[in-house]
Amino acid sequence: MVRPKLLAPGGSLEMARQAFLNGADSVYVGAKGWSRRTAEYELEDVEIEAIVELASSMGKGVRVALNTLFSSQELSLFIEKLKRFESMGVEGVILTDPGVMALSKELCPDLEVHVSAGANAINNEDLFFYREIGVDMVVAPCNITVEELAQMKRTVNVGLEVFLHSNTCFTYLGKCLMSSYFRYSSHIDEYGKDHYWGSPNRGGYCHRVCKARWNLEDAEAEMKNEMFLALDDLPAYVEAGVDCLKIQGREYNPRLIGEIVALYSQIVDSLQDGSFYHRLDFFRDRVEELSLRRDRERNRRTSRVLEEAERDLEVASVA
Ligand code: SF4
């Protein structure tokens, strides 16, 4: 059985160090203003360079998320970034826009291209298309079942990556526009790139407005948005030949990320040496403990981003 790669978040140099020390093969980082996270968890090019140097000293890899959508005016900025990251020695880039994926393969053929979960590749035809334009890996949206993944992997010869730690939105991630309606102000940065604060697709971030209490025809309701740390599906993922297992969470504490990576590294080892089911109770306890700590951090952050969105709405209604 081939051992899948373990990919962890690199929200900071310290997080990348924790991830590598605890068994991650690679980390992914967000270039400032160009990924689907808030600026405080994205990195300047010089910070990314430091992580690439650390990775290469430890025999590890770095991928850069540039997974927003660009206008034609922003393409030259993107190409500059792409070439800079290639010369730094990053192993690949995570992209959402199909046109930009083909362009990247043309300009920098040695740089791996990974299709972001935000592109919503949900069926075999999507996978055939991405393989056709030369991508190396497709990140599967969280809503896809293990059975669907196994079937996709059998049918299309392209790398597949799945989330071990993420959240399942009730929509498809890249197609949810709710946050943009709540916070629609924008600004153009000093390089000429446009950022819409409420849109993760356009340089802003998701304000998780689905987590607010919604009054739907007088009945209070909460939309589905659950965090998970995968466990029971792991044997089936590995059996299906999934190539990469991804842990999300650039916004968490580096120590917590280090512990999550260490756990999954042990789980992947146990699947290789056949001890997974003997150790399942231990893994389950550990997943539960880490989930509680993760939830505390996440709830604090959700309250903060919801408050930001509500403040923007109040300003807009006063104006
Ligand atoms: S608003 Fe909710 S459902 Fe939409 S992308 Fe954000 S977390 Fe997912």
Give yes or no for residue 318 having a pLDDT over 60: no
182 CA from centroid of ligand 1 (Å):
12
To which residue do tokens 């604090």 refer? 300
Full set of structural domains in the chain with CATH: 5-176+226-281 (3.20.20.70)
202 CA from centroid of ligand 1 (Å):
15
To which residue do tokens 């190396």 refer? 136
The larger pLDDT score, comparing residue 203 to residue 147, is at 147
CA-to-CA distance for 264 and 261, rounded, in angstroms? 5
Residue whose CA is closest, atom 6 of ligand 1?
A: 208
Residue whose CA is closest, atom 1 of ligand 1?
A: 208
Q: Are strands 214-216 and 219-221 parallel, antiparallel or unpaired?
A: antiparallel
Our answer on whether the CB atom of 209 is closer than 6 Å to any ligand 1 atom is yes
169 CA from centroid of ligand 1 (Å):
6
Q: Are strands 214-216 and 194-196 parallel, antiparallel or unpaired?
A: unpaired
Give yes or no for residue 225 having a pLDDT over 90: no
What is the SS3 assignment for 228?
Answer: strand
The larger pLDDT score, comparing residue 216 to residue 279, is at 279
Q: How confident is the model at residue 214 (pLDDT cuts 50, 70, 90)?
A: confident
Choose which residue among 205, 206, 303 to substitute to test ligand 1 binding: the one with the highest number of ligand atoms within 8 A of its C-beta.
Answer: 206
Angle of CA points 142, 60, 253, to nearest 5° = 55
Mean pLDDT of 29-57: 92
Our answer on whether the CB atom of 173 is closer than 6 Å to any ligand 1 atom is yes
To which residue do tokens 């590890």 refer? 60
pLDDT tens digits, 170-189: 777 777 888 887 777 777 88
- Which residues, listed in sequence order, are joined to residue 115 by a DSSP beta bridge? 95, 138
The larger pLDDT score, comparing residue 311 to residue 104, is at 104
Of ligand 1's atoms, which has the minimum distance to the CA of residue 176? Answer: 4
Q: How confident is the model at residue 224 (pLDDT cuts 50, 70, 90)?
A: low
What is the SS3 assignment for 251?
Answer: coil
Residue whose CA is closest, atom 3 of ligand 1?
A: 169
Of ligand 1's atoms, which has the minimum distance to the CA of residue 200? Answer: 5
Our answer on whether the CB atom of 8 is closer than 6 Å to any ligand 1 atom is no
Q: Which of 29-38, 51-60, 166-175, 177-186 has the highest mean pLDDT?
A: 51-60
Mean pLDDT of 287-314: 84
What is the SS3 assignment for 3?
Answer: coil
Mean pLDDT of 12-16: 97
Give yes or no for residue 194 having a pLDDT over 90: no
Give yes or no for residue 190 having a pLDDT over 80: no
Q: Of 36-50, 113-127, 161-175, 258-272, give the lowest mean pLDDT range.
A: 161-175
Tokens of 228: 């998970």
49 CA from centroid of ligand 1 (Å):
31
CA-to-CA distance for 137 and 44, rounded, in angstroms? 25
pLDDT averaged over every residue in the chain: 90
Sequence length of the chain is 319
Tokens of 153: 């992997």
pLDDT of residue 220: 67
* Full DSSP string of 297-317: HHHHHHHHHHHHHHHHHHHHH
- Tell me phi and psi for residue 168, to 5 degrees: -100, 105
